[in-house]
Structure 1
Amino acid sequence: MSVAIKVENLSKAYQLGQIGTGTISRDLERWYARIRGKEDPFLRIGESNDQHSKSESNVVWSLKDINFEIKQGDAVGIIGRNGAGKSTLLKILSKVTAPTTGKISGKGRIASLLEVGTGFHPELSGRENIFLNGAILGMRKKEIQRKLEEIVDFAGIERYLDTPVKRYSSGMYVRLAFAVAAHLESEILIVDEVLAVGDAEFQKKCLGKMGEVSKGEGRTVLFVSHNMASIKQLCDKGILLNNGIVQYSGKISKIISSYFINYNKQEVFFENDDFSAKKLYCTNAKNQTVNSVTNGSELFIKVLLEVKVQNPNLGFCIAIYNGMKELLTCINTFHIHSEIASLGTGKHEFVIPIPKYIFNEGEYFINLHLNSSSGDLYYIIENCYTFTILDDDKRRGGIYRDSWPGQISLVPNININVVQ
């Protein structure tokens, strides 16, 4: 199988604050280095792209020495935390921006959907923008006309086709933009996180189309999303970015596991005069720290707090979200305030058991809300732990061959009474 995209020693640096080196002589030195194909003499090497810390330099490396190959027909998921360099990488691959160093070689035309409105002219109608995008990809007018009806039908905006796209909602924009990118004859399809704008039905439709494009038509798909369920459904391979470098690449199941393991290594920390929050984690019935269990097994959420004073002014809430970031439940300490108020100083572990067959299979995210005993909010720690529920095949009984439907996975005790 031929190589669709090859990336060699790719780096991208951005200058923060005011653009320029500060003097004309240094600007000329930078320009002279660029025309000779040399690296910028004023870039500082070795600084990590940490959004939470202030650097001595006003230059940040969004990507640093990236190397990978993508085969033709592969569906590749690119994952990582915010600021890892995912969108920058896609912009470089789409030729929206140029790399600072390194090179990219590719085979075939690229259609990309990077953000709402990219590549559309707001004054042109939906129909005119379809032809404009096709022309940019190098397609002939007859080729675009042949695909026009299929694009309009997929986007579901036939009524507004001849209306200027500046009057479209963000959802309509994304529907048309994705339909254009997926149906025009490009060999490589690049999709950033914009699908989050669409509704759940359209997201499902888009995932189905990307799967068809990759597996049915042999086209290459690069997909960025924070929804791990969507990534897992579509992609067979993945790339994990961390602070601008490729941390792992390979099978998507291993990449997602590595992402969650690294994500959950970070300890929760908050401190005030009454207490400090040390850690939140999950264990199984054997008291082993886990990132995944079957829905037929017990799961325990544990919060480690250190109390500094007698009768601490302390409370907390655990909010659990599904992969679509929908709130499923909140578990709070409201009913045990008297027990918390009587705690002595020292470290205390709060254990919250999650019964069997409550959550269906999928990825789940925990937010920790720290508050006073009266309910005043101190701090919210978002996505402080992520866990995966795997399906227990024993209860399926041949009815559902795919995932069990619904958000919960309840297996009730069903009693049968004789009615006279």
Structure 2
Amino acid sequence: MNVLSRCGSAVAVVLGSFVAVVASKLSLGYDSTQVEQSDLWFRNFVTPQWSGFVVVVMALLALLVQRNNSGRWLPIAAALVGAAVIAAPSVVSIMANQAVTVTAVGSGLLLAASALVAASDRWARLCLMAGVFGGVLFWGAIHQYVPFDENRWMVSLGPNPVDAAVHPVILVVTAVAITLVALRGDIGVVGPDRRVIAGMLAVSCVFFLIYVFLGSKTSSTPMWILSVVIVAAATMTATWLLPERDRTVVWVGFGVAAASVSGLAWNEGSWWVLVVGVAALSAGICVANWTRHPKLGFALLAAVTISGLLSGSASFDIIPTIAYAVVLPAAVGYCAASSVPEGTETAVFGSTIPLSVALFSVSAPAAPATLYWSNGAESPPQLPAVAALSPLPIGIFIATLAIMVAGVAAARPNAASDQRTSVGS
């Protein structure tokens, strides 16, 4: 594969994985939290946890189909169908509560198409992970530039038909880019074993069930902590199915999910912070190509997470803001580039754990929110470009501890591998 082909493949893979994640996030209803805490029958099927679960399951099922087939038809079909499904709300009448699942299905297919064209090249697999992590980190900034869709209220003002979460033109460009790469590139065999993908599907189901019954927005703090412990155990179980060289990326995904216990509040003036964050993500990837020490990446993730304790402080609030705006993207890029797996299905599963494990980003213990209606006559306050938002300290401590556990677990196979290499030499 020449340099031009590799660059084209990288662009298509990053674009496809990024659009897939952003589409699944933007399809969520504005009142999904209120719906989740209601008695409505679909309350568990409109949450970020459900959306992430569907994305991962659809992507893994597509990879399972492709496992022993090196043909080009599946990635092309997945790209075209995935883009069409995401765009469907712009063509047919789909209600806000239904659009969450519909968009997640299309996003999973689009992510699978990106993974399939990345199967034969390590650089392309890294681009796949960078696109997914970039979507997780920056979808909130993208959301500020998406036209407000008043119909995306699922219960408060609806449900009503909604538009596509991503503009159809962007979806067409993405599908065409993946199709061209699939036609010109090398589509390799995806996975080593059906057992591995089946195990990943089972663990993804565990993630969803744990959230529904133990770790949702309605759970108490002790139940939430218990759910974190069980999810960590399920993640460890998933790593046992993998070769030692591929286990680190799963713990990286878990660490990034835990670091999302705090986050950034974006506004329309945040574009320059987005640029800085993308540059930091790229810098982290570049540094990891010179020296790869995953333990350093996990240490940075833990430091960023614990900085959330300073959120809301009049004197030190700038520290978590800088940590989440700059240090976190750099740490994620470094961790991703330090842990690129051989198996494409592992790259998909590991990088999407921040989507399939919403315990930290959605339901961490937080102070009760105060909601009110405004008549629009009030002058809006002057907001900073970005601001860090954090849950209660117990949530930050548990998330930091989870990252430390992930770092230790990730270091064990690497140490064993290094020892074997030294003995062999």
- TM interval, short-chain normalised: under 0.3
Q: Which structure has more helix as a fraction of its residues? A: 2
Q: Which structure has more strand as a fraction of its residues? A: 1
Instruction: Give me the TM-score of the superposition, normalised by structure 2.
Output: 0.27
Q: Max radius of gyration: which structure?
A: 1
Instruction: Give me the TM-score of the superposition, normalised by structure 1.
Output: 0.27
